Structure 1
Amino acid sequence: MTESGDNGLGGIDVVVLAGGLGTRIRSVLGDIPKVLAPINGRPFLDHLLDHLAALGAGRVVLSLGVGADQVRAHLDGRDLPLQVLAVAEPAPLGTGGALRHVMPRLVGDPVMVMNGDTWLEADFAQFLAEHRRSGRAVSLLCVAVAEVSRYGRVEIAADGQVTRFAEKDPTLAGPGWINGGAALLSRPALDRLAAETGPSLERDFLAQLPPGWIFGWRAEGAAFIDIGTPESLAEAGNVLPHDAIAAKGKTPG
């Protein structure tokens, strides 16, 4: 299941939320921003930009916070695989606030928003096509995991409607579908977010949307890893490319 840049993300803007503190892996990275974590000899960001370029993203808007100067210094003067706009928060805003802050820079409809510590290999062309077919304001790329307690479960009806977000809970054990860290937002969703003030994109916005607003796309067979813990950061070396060109698919961000 591979997709070329010509028929993947179709040139849309991709917002990469990379302003988090990275407290869970500070013992490994020290003061290095999480998005610059070295994996297979290259910063995670370099892998991600190659990946998004191969998927056909038109432009990446990096939403930065802690370590923004380090990320900008890393990007400065580099031959990047696609256009990158780095925007720093004036203060910690949360994921929802960060997206609101960069919203005036975004063009096109829809845009994709993804976590800056997430690697996803799924059929993004189908994800985009199903989002448009569904007519929903938001589509979540959902992945199946063997243990949902670390992430929180997404409950999806037979027609694809997201019916519930279950919070992270150590007692919530077992397999299930989770938010894979990538979402497509059409203009009605962006307009609604712009009018709100909650800091969390997940808890204050997505989980509060009226029934029928969110389509949950089940990314069957997707490869998914986040690098938010020392264990998953170490495991990422087995998933991400070892060469200078990121994988072009099975395909986020």
Structure 2
Amino acid sequence: MSKGLDGIDVIVLAGGLGTRIRGVLGDTPKVLAPINGRPFLDHLLDHLAALGAGRAVLSLGVGAGQVIDHLNQRIYPLPVVPVVEPAPQGTGGAVRHVMPSLTGEPVMVMNGDTWLEADFGAFLAAHRMAGRPISLLCVAVDDVSRYGRVEMEPDGNVTRFAEKDPALAGPGWINGGALLLSAQALQRLAAGTGASLERDFLGEAPDGWIFGWRAEGAAFIDIGTPDSLAEAGGVLPQQTTPAAGKPKA
């Protein structure tokens, strides 16, 4: 896997309520869920650094204080910029809120409860070659009913997002939880007011704006349910060395 993110900013959406796994985590923010001896966030930030990201811009909301306290106890291999929402604004509002903290373009937006192993260098290269304002990393799953289906033409042009529906049961391509936004896309998002990045921004994008990149063979898991959180230990790396702490003053 190449270190192909070319130093771009990555927005990590980590301000969700985590209601589906509150019975497991209690008041612990979902992004700090312990997996293989480490909080999920530490796994994710190490992963982004290995992929060549320039900075991780964390969009925080519920539980932000706990996350920032944790960040202050660690040294990470890339700069981490926490940005706290004053109130829940949805995924679309969360991205708008962090925009003043961004540098350069494109930027990548990813879900803070999703683990993805794919060739992100190829994803970025395909985005630049396609010349679309938005590129969406799509992964193949055996059952799309839990996620909703992404419908694409052979050239990757995204034509429709089908909502989650038990009637959709069966294999297909889904939103893998990572997208690249060019300056044009960021400007359109900034000018909008919709709360949902998925419904109000992606779902309402002009025809031909979204390129769907098929991440063949990608490893994908979200940790948003008790079952998937339990399964994550078999996918994420095992901790082999103690996590680095900050030196005492």
The alignment partner of 1:86 has SS state of: strand
Q: Map 1:15-164 onto structure 2 (within 5 A).
A: 15-164=11-160
Quick one: distance in 1 between partners of 2:193 and 2:23? Answer: 33
1:243: Cα distance to partner?
A: 2.4
TM-superposed deviation, 1:171? 1.3
CA-CA distance at 1:46 after TM superposition: 0.2
TM-superposed deviation, 1:188: 0.3
Is residue 210 of structure 2 the alignment partner of residue 191 of structure 1? no
Residue of 230, 239, 249 corresponding to 1:234:
230
Distance 1:233 1:204 in 2: 28
Instruction: Give, as a single letter, the amino acid of the residue that structure 2 aligns with 1:93.
Output: Q
Shift of 1:78: 1.6
| Residue aligned with 1:171, SS | helix
Letter in 2 for 1:235: E
Secondary structure of 2:169's match? coil
**TM-score if structure 2 supplies the norm length?**
0.96
Q: Distance in 1 between matches of 2:71 and 2:117?
A: 24
Report the residue type matching 2:183 in the other structure: R
Partner of 1:205, secondary structure, is helix
CA distance in 2, matches of 1:79, 1:196: 36
SS at match of 2:160: strand
1:202 matches 2:185: no
Contact 2:138/2:174 (8 A) holds in 1 = yes
Deviation at 1:43, TM superposition (A): 0.1
TM-score (norm 1): 0.94
Q: Structure 1: which 4+ aligned runs deviate by more than 3 Å? A: none
Where do 5+ consecutive residues of structure 1 fail to align?
A: 246-253
Is 2:9–2:57's contact at 8 Å kept on the other side of the alignment?
Answer: yes
SS at match of 2:156: coil
Q: Partner of 1:179 in structure 2?
A: 175
Q: Secondary structure at the match of 2:168?
A: coil
Shift of 1:24: 0.4
How far apart in 2 are the matches of 1:98 and 1:24?
A: 20
Structure 2 residue runs without a partner (length 5+) = 242-249
Describe the SS at the equivalent of 1:199.
coil
Q: Which has the higher contact order (CA 8 A, sep 6+)?
A: 1
Deviations 1:142-170 (A, max 9, x none): 00000000000000101110000000111
Q: Distance in 1 between matches of 2:189 and 2:240?
A: 37
Counterpart residue type for residue 219 of structure 2: A
Give the percent of matched residue pairs that are identical in Structure 1 and Structure 2.
Answer: 78
The one-letter code matched in structure 1 to 2:120 is F
Report the Cα distance in structure 2 between the residues aligned to 1:180 and 1:100, rounded to whole angstroms.
Answer: 21
User: Cα offset for 1:244?
Assistant: 4.6
Q: Does 1:167 align with 2:163?
A: yes
Measure how far apart 1:77 and its partner are.
3.7
Match of 1:243 in 2: 239
**Residues 223-242 of structure 1: CA distance to partner in whole angstroms, max 9, x if unpaired?**
00000000000000000000
SS of match in other structure, 1:163: strand
